[in-house]
Each structure stands twice: as C-alpha cells, then as structure tokens.
Structure 1
Amino acid sequence: MRKLFILVAGFSLLALGAEVEISVRFDPEKHEIFGSQWITFSEPQEEAWFVVLANLGREPNPYVSPLVQDSIYVSGFDPAWTRIERAVWEKTGEDLPFELLPAPATYQTYSLSDVILRVSLPSEAGKLRLDFRTRFPHVWVEPGRLGDIYTWRFGWHPILLPEKPGEAFPLVLPFHEYTVELELPEGWQAFLPGEQRREGNVFKTSFAQAVNSVALFFGPEERFRTFQLESGGRLLEGVALPGDEAALRALLTWIPEILSWYEERFGPYPEKRILLVEHPTQVGVAMTAEGIVFLPRWFFSRENLTAAGTLTRLGIYILAHELAHLWWGIGAGVDFDAENWLSEGLSQYLSITWYEERFGAEGGNLFVFERKGLGEELVDYALGFLNLREHLTELPYLQTFFYGFDEALVKPTREVKYDQATADRLYNKGYLVLRALAHVLGEENFHRGLRAV
C-alpha cells in the first residue's frame, strides 16, 4: 500500500477557493479580449502573485527551425501576450504598484519576460481589480484562433498563485471559484463550460465548485451546428462544424455510458453540463478543459475513409481518454511540466480499461465493421489485426525503449533529451506503470485509492 500512497501524494489539489470574477469584451479586428478580473482576499495579505501564461508565447522559439514554427503557426510566428494595464484596490479606488518579472527557466528557456506578476496589497481584506488585455495568435490548434474560431483553454487571464514562486516553477493550475462573462459582437456565439447563460451578446458562466480553468471557445454563429442530449440529470451539448453534425451527434451518445463507468469506480463528476466540441484543426489532436472536450476536424474528415466507420472505434476511444481528464489532470491537478504522466497515464489507464471491457481485450478490436463490403474488406485485410493496447500503446513504448529514447516519467521539460518520444513516455509508459501497479495491488484496491483522490 506504500506505493499507492506515493501515487496519491503526487497530485496537487490546491483548492484555494479564491473568488475570481472576470468580465471581458472581444475585439475581432485586433484579435484581443480586454477587461478586468476581480480577486477577493478574505484575509489581509501584503502581496499577491500571478502567472501570466500568455507571455510564454510572446517570442518565437529561437532553438527550432522555421519548419517547426510552421507546424504551430498558420502564417509564420504570431505572438500571444497579456498586458497588465492597471491594478486597483476596489475599496478605495487606489492604484496599486505592480511589477512583471521573468519566470524561472523551467517549462521553457525562452520568452520568460513578464510571466510572473507581483501586486503590492494594502494589508487588509478586500477586492483587487486587474485590468488586462490578451491577444490570440493565429495557430493550427490552441491557444489562439484558427480562421475566425477562437480557442483558449488555460491562462488567457492572470492566474492567482498560492504563494510566491521559487526557483523551481511547477506548472500547476490552482483551483478557484470562477465566474466569467464574455461580450461578443452581434452575430457571434460562445460556448463556455459550466452553467452558461446568455444575455444578449454577453455570455456568462459559473461552476458548481472550484475549478482550475475556464476555457473559451467562440466564433461567428453561422459556423456552428448545435444539439443537446439529457442523461441522468446532466446536459450534454454538441457543437459541430457544418457537415459533421451526424458524426459528432453519434459520439455524443457514447458519453453517458463512459461517464457512468467512470463515476461508478472513481466518484461523481460534479458539473451538470458537458460540452463536446469539434475544433476546426486538421491536426490530429484532441483536448480537454473543465467541462469541455475538443475533438479535431481531422478525425471527422477521415472517419469514413475507405469504408463507413473506419475510424469510429478510434474516435470512441479518444473520447473516453479525453473524458477521463475530467478526473485526472483537470479534476485533480498535476504539474503539467514535470508530472504530466499522472494526467495522461491515468487517462490512458481509465480509457483503455473501459474500452477493453466494452469491446474486448484480445485480438483486433479497433477496425471492426458491422457490415461487409469491398472497402471494409480492404481495411480488415490491412488493419484488422490491430489491438488498441498491444499495437497503439505497448508496442510504441517498447520501440522507444529499444531505440534508446526512454527517459524517466517524472522529469521537468527543461531536462528532457528526446522530445519526439515525450508522448510515448507520458501516455504509454505511464499507462504501463499504472497497469502494473494495479496488478500488484489488485485492481479493486487500486481503483479505491484513485477514488480517494
């Protein structure tokens, strides 16, 4: 049981519960949001510390070739930034002194200026107002915009830290009690997680409990197709791009079954609304933030290549992996810099365990068709033997190991030697370690420990 205690102790729950209210407007000409956030301090403090994550993207990476930059930015490097315009003590209207400081070289070693914000407080309980402005870069995925659709999961505003950061700067997102309102131009639509409500062009949201992020996703209204499904007192909302409504609606119907399996073993998910959103990227990357799952257009444009439903089971597995993040990485905070394996490895463990219980663990279980035809026969001949765990999880890690690219699971990004193997190390090696631990402890005991987190 000692190993299980070490695993549980590795999570950072940082449930500060500070009240954070944010009100911003969007300027489509400048690709900026601007406004204020208010932080309530119930106890006197001499200073407050924040991390300004957007400024990590203010400068291009000088250590990589332009070809690598092109894989991130649509039309060459495009900066992201957050500018702090004022710090005000609401009780008196007094302008407070603040300074922007460089971040320690932990998550990266460039673009570190103005990442840490220190605000001097008047040593009394009260409310601090920060006026800020954040720019969305033009990128293939996020944070930023792709065409006229805007996405930002973490750090589009200054994030209150629990204490002054030290030389080591773990990338942990603290939990706060957020309320957010976003004003958009006429004819635009936002999809905010949580308990969203709309008043004209203003979109507001709040959450049932403290969360570590509030994702933004918005664009012109005509760019989206929406539908809803109610299940067990929870609202499931789908947001598809034109032409993909049926495919995303079909995936939406899998959420109740997956959530039920997770909740039975690992405890209830507290929010009563979950968004399943199609992101316009043609990069094969899925993402999650509190209450919202993003699937890429890459999947929907390839789901029926060669035969109808070729990638359907792969999409179901990806959905299960992303939903698992509502418990691990999002629901229980981790250091995304040095300990991201706890987020990705546990999400792999949950999703693959569910998938194998649902579709079988042995033999080909990824490319399986209910009807037969020439296209289905071709896919079955070429790929029908593929097993999710054996060929997409165990084999990639074993190749990484035998080629000499393996590294420790717990490792700050600045110390990683083989970044090309990071995904296999965090996702697949993380899964294998957790699967082995479940075998040693017994699956029931292991799941009981996870539920306690």
Structure 2
Amino acid sequence: MTRSSYRKKLLLLTIVVGILTLSFVSTNLRVVETMITIFYGEKIPKTKKINSYTITVDFDPVERILTGNEYIKYTNDENTSFNALYFHLYPNAFKDEKLVPFEKSEMKYAYPKGFEQGYIKIHSIQKNDVPLNYVVMGVGESILKVHLDTPLEPGEKIDLKIDFSVKIPPSCGRFGYGEDTINIANWYPILSVFDKKGWHLEPYFAIGDPFYSDVANYRVEILMPQEYVLAHTGECVKKESIDGKIRWTLEGKNVRDFSMVASEKFKVIDDQINNIKIYSYYFNDQFGDLALDVAKDAIGIFSETYGEYPYKQFSVAASDFFIGGMEYPNIVFIDKTLYTEEKKEILEYIVAHETAHQWWYGIVGNDQVNEAWLDEALTEYSTLLYYEKKYGVKMEEQVYKNLIVRYYNAYKDSEHNKEQAVCRKLNQFKNSQEYQALVYYKGAMFIKNLRKQLGDEAFFKAMKIYFDKYKYKNASTEDFIQVCEKVANKNLRGSFKKWIRYDKE
C-alpha cells in the first residue's frame, strides 16, 4: 500500500538449470512430492496444495449488507494434525470505534460523515451438513476458531460451509463506502496462515498492511443491482440478469485474496499488453487514460524485469480511498482525488507502485505483519525501476533524490526520530510516518544499494530467481538473503544487518 500525503510522490530469462521431478508414493498413496532443481542444485520448497473458496453473496444496496455463504476446500499440508482451523474476520475490526484500523489523525478522512459500525456475523459452520462448534475470539473478535469433530491429519482434506453476513461501513478505506464507490476488501472469512511459527492470528493493525495469506483458487458469485459496475480480482466468466439485478460470476486462480470495487458511476476503458487486458475504472474525463497507460507500461516493465505477469487481467480502480493506493490480486484501489492536473505526477507514482505489488505481495507473498519491509521495499524500489526503464536513469535519480532520500532524511534528521530498524513487526512502529520513512524509503535505499553491491547482472538475476522460486508461495527475509548470497557468491548478512537491522532468529 502507498500512504500518500500528497507532498511525497511526484538471466534476462528466468533461470531454470534443470527440472527434476521425483514422485514418492507412500503406503497410503497420499503423499506425492515434486521438487524442482533450478539453481546450483537448490530445490524449490514443496508447493502446497491449492485450497479453494466458493463464495456466493447477495448485496443489499440500501443496508449495504452482503449475505451468503462460503465453501472452503482445505488440505492439511503440514506435518502435524489439527483439532481446529482458524480464520481472520477482518470486518470485525470496524465494529468498535476505539479499535478501527486507523490512526486518530486519520479518522476524519476515514469517516467523513462520522463513525458507523461495520462487521461480519457468522451464522453457522458445517462439515458435510453436520454443524461444527466455533468461537469468535481475539482482538475485536477478529479471529474465528472452528473446532473440528475429528483431528485433521497430515494430507487429509476437509470441506467446510460457512454462512455469514457482512455490514459495510461508511469508511473511505479498504473496506467501506463513500460517495462514489463501495470498496469490498478483506471482507470474508479467510484462512489464517500456518507456518513454522504456528497459526498467525495477529489483529488488524492500524499501521501498514497487516495481512498474511496463502494463494487459493476462488469462485465468487455476487448479486448486485444492475446499475453497478464491478471491478474485481480474477476474471468475469458470466453475467446473468436476474429480476432486474446482475449476478456476476468471477474466478481467480492462484490468488492471495479476493477484492472488488463497485460503483454506479464508473467509466471504463481498456488496453492490452502481452495478451493481458488492462482496465481503468474512473470518474472524470481526464486521467483515466493516464492510469491505464501507467498500468500497461508497468506490467510490461516488471514482466520483463522479474518474470511474466501470470494472470489475464489487471484493473486500476479510482475509489473513495483516502490513503493513496492499495494492492490486491489483479486490482488496485487508487484515491479518486489524485485524478487531477495538480496531482497527476502522484497518480503516476502510486499506480506504478501498486502495480509492482502484483509481484511483491501478490505473486511472491510474505508475512506483512512481521516482515512488512520485504514486499514494500522491493515494491518501492520497483517504482524507481519503472521510471528508469520508461524515462531513463536521470529521471530515476531525480525521483529517488526528491521523493525517497529527501523524505527519509527529513525523518532521520528530526531529533525525535532516531529509530532505524526497518525489519520489525507493525505494532513496533510508533506511527505511519515512521513506518513509511523506514519501510518504504530506507527499504528502497537499501535495495538500490544492494543492486550497486551485486552489480546489475547479478542483481537482476537474483530478482528473477527469487520471483521464480517463490511464485505463489510465501517468502521470508531469510529466503531473500539466501538467493542473493547464492547468486553473488558472497556473504551479504552484514549489509542486511546494517541497513534494515535484520538478524537471523
């Protein structure tokens, strides 16, 4: 995500050394493991089985409530059995004014007409038509714990059905509505990530993008009034007229999340690059085309630099969204007030930044709560690369000095801002200004320095290998270091420690 203050933002092939497929069938015929050798014999981590969500909801435009159900097909791909599964209920972060994911200084922008609740209600959970016990827990009741009637053993699958309803608040953020758009993001029960640290049950922090998820396959059916135009993750595979409404059937494969933006006022234009359809949803007659052109160019630049964008569409949606920009798979939300002559440079920067997030967060995921620097620093530096590749090195240097170094130095030179740790948990940053100065600006400065240390050939080789190795997976700082060290054939840990204060746990 880009938090815009409106002052700030003015080899050569994917390396595959060899493919070695080894299939091992256990005595119960359940375990099939494929390992791919791509670089000096190093192996890609086992690809997790793709889980799926099938979500069907009706939208009430008067009450602004979504009502429906969700079917989840989940495979226990871990080496331990589960007696319960955990889901995030992000809409419940909007129930209590004291717990909403905004800083106090942001509330007048987040709720321009005053606070009203948003929430999600769980009505029932079933496994094969048999009700399961569950509890809603955690900070702001943002975690759903589903008790399983029998342990889910490694390799076993489970099908769950969750009936739920969601109240959308009058909030101009990721989840909420304003004068022109309804932003439907982080809105359904989504499985928590289980990794070597266990289940990740962190709350919806006000700072950063506190989301950590695995890729999944989605099929979403939403029934809306026919006046609405819908921008969305995935592809629209069907539109049906039903009693004066439209049922949109959407499918997203290998995506980390699923979001939508609805509006009765959207204008839409599109273009294409490398057989990828690019859409721009906007309101004014000006600058919808600028957003489209930036997105198209960015998709082309990052595809060539890191690896091909693997989806068939990408959308840029102007929104009632005061924070600047926010990334979701196949779609980004952009503050509609940026579509003006005075702010068109900021618009370009933010669209380029959020498009880069399709690579760093969307395709290659990471723990955005505990290691937010990893996707944000790579994305912020990728934004500089957009300017370099499109306009030349001089433009990149100008943008770097004026929009990165300048604001980082302003932070550093303040007598109250002595903290320099970039790699830390979201709730360890005192405010969004500190978070942005360190995670975005200093993070981008570090990646630029890393490129200088490695040289262009090794740096871009490392980036392509990192992208290819962790495509559709979650990576960590340690994973990134190991790829860079392997390519450079040198120890880089001192540099990571110096710049971002990273020490291996």
Q: Work out whether the TM-score is over 0.5.
A: yes
The SS at the match of 2:411 is helix
- Give the aligned partner of residue 60 of structure 1: 97
Relative distance call for 1:204 and 1:121 in structure 2 (3 A) is farther
Match of 1:18 in 2: 51
Q: Deviations over 1:177-225 (max 9, x none)?
A: 1111111124223222211132221111112x321111111132xx111
CA contact (8 A) 2:86 2:143 kept: no
Residue 355 of structure 1, CA deviation: 0.2
* Residue identity opposite 1:217 in structure 2: V
Contact 1:22 1:179 in 2 (8 A): yes
- The amino acid that maps onto 1:165 is W
8 A contact 1:82–1:133 mirrored in 2: yes
Give 3-state SS (helix, strand or coil) of 1:139's partner.
coil
- 1:87 alignment partner in structure 2: 125
Note closer, same or farther for the CA distance 1:349–1:99 as it changes in structure 2 (3 Å cut): same
Paired position in structure 2 for 1:229: 271
Q: Which residue of 1 aligns with 2:251?
A: 206
Which 5+ residue runs of structure 2 have no aligned equivalent? 1-44, 204-209, 467-505
Once the two structures are TM-superposed, the CA of residue 67 in structure 1 deviates from its matched residue by: 5.6
Alpha-carbon contact 2:132-2:146 (below 8 Å) kept: no
What whole-Å deviation, never above 9, does each CA across 1:127-180 have from its counterpart, x for those lacking one? 210001111111123211113521123x20011124362687784122111111
Determine which of 427, 443, 451 is the counterpart of 1:414: 427
Is 1:152 aligned to residue 193 of structure 2? no
TM-score (norm: length of structure 2): 0.72
**Secondary structure, in 3 states, of the residue corresponding to 2:324?**
coil
Alignment equivalent of 1:51, drawn from 84, 88, 102: 88
Provide the secondary structure at the position in 2 that maps to 1:23.
strand
Against the structure 1 CA distance between its residues 331 and 20, is the aligned structure 2 distance closer, same or farther, given a 3 Å change threshold? same
Structure 1: gaps spanning 5 or more residues: 1-11, 104-110, 306-310, 367-385
TM-superposition CA deviations, 1:342-372 (whole Å, max 9, x none): 222111111102203432343xx49xxxxxx
Aligned mate of 1:247, from 287, 290, 293:
287
Contact 2:193/2:213, CA 8 A, preserved across alignment: no
Query: CA separation of 1:80/1:14 partners in 2, compared to 1, >3 Å: closer, same or farther?
Result: farther
CA contact (8 A) 2:177 2:320 kept: no
Aligned counterparts of 1:13 and 1:341: Cα–Cα separation in 2:
25
- Note if 1:296 corresponds to 2:330: no
1:218 matched to 2:256? The reply is no
The Cα RMSD (Å) is 2.9
- Between the aligned partners of 2:336 and 2:103, the Cα distance in structure 1 is 27
Match of 1:376 in 2: none
Change (3 A) 1:121 1:268: farther
Does residue 163 of structure 2 align to residue 135 of structure 1?
A: no
- State the alpha-carbon separation in 2 of the partners of residues 402 and 432 from structure 1: 16
Whole-angstrom CA distance in 2 between matches of 1:393 and 1:66: 26
Structure-to-structure mapping, 1:101-112, within 5 angstroms? 101-103=137-139, 111=140
Number of aligned residues = 399
Equivalent pair of 1:22/1:37 in contact (CA under 8 Å)? yes
Conservation of the 8 A alpha-carbon contact between 1:87 and 1:119: no
Q: Quote the offset at 1:235 in angstroms.
A: 1.2
Contact 1:39 1:127 in 2 (8 A): yes
Structure 2 counterpart of 1:144, one-letter code: G
| Separation (CA, whole Å) in 1 of partners of 2:398 and 2:455 | 24
Deviation of 1:42 (Å): 4.8
TM-score, normalising length from structure 1?
0.80
Structure 2 counterpart SS, 1:262 = helix
1:161 aligns with 2:172: no
1:191 corresponds to 2:231: yes
CA distance in 2, matches of 1:145, 1:180: 20
Q: Which deviations, in whole Å up to 9, do the C-alpha atoms of 1:348-402 show, x marking residues without a partner?
A: 111102203432343xx49xxxxxxxxxxxxxxxxxxx93110110011112112
Change (3 A) 1:324 1:165: same
Structure 1 residues 41 and 354: CA distance shift in structure 2, 3 A: closer
Instruction: Tell me how far 1:253 sits from its aligned partner.
Output: 2.6
8 Å Cα contact 2:180/2:319 also seen in 1 = no
| CA distance 1:20–1:119, shift in 2 (3 Å) | farther
Q: CA deviation at 1:117?
A: 2.6
The structure-2 alpha-carbon separation of the partners of 1:299 and 1:167, relative to structure 1 and needing over 3 Å to count, comes to: closer
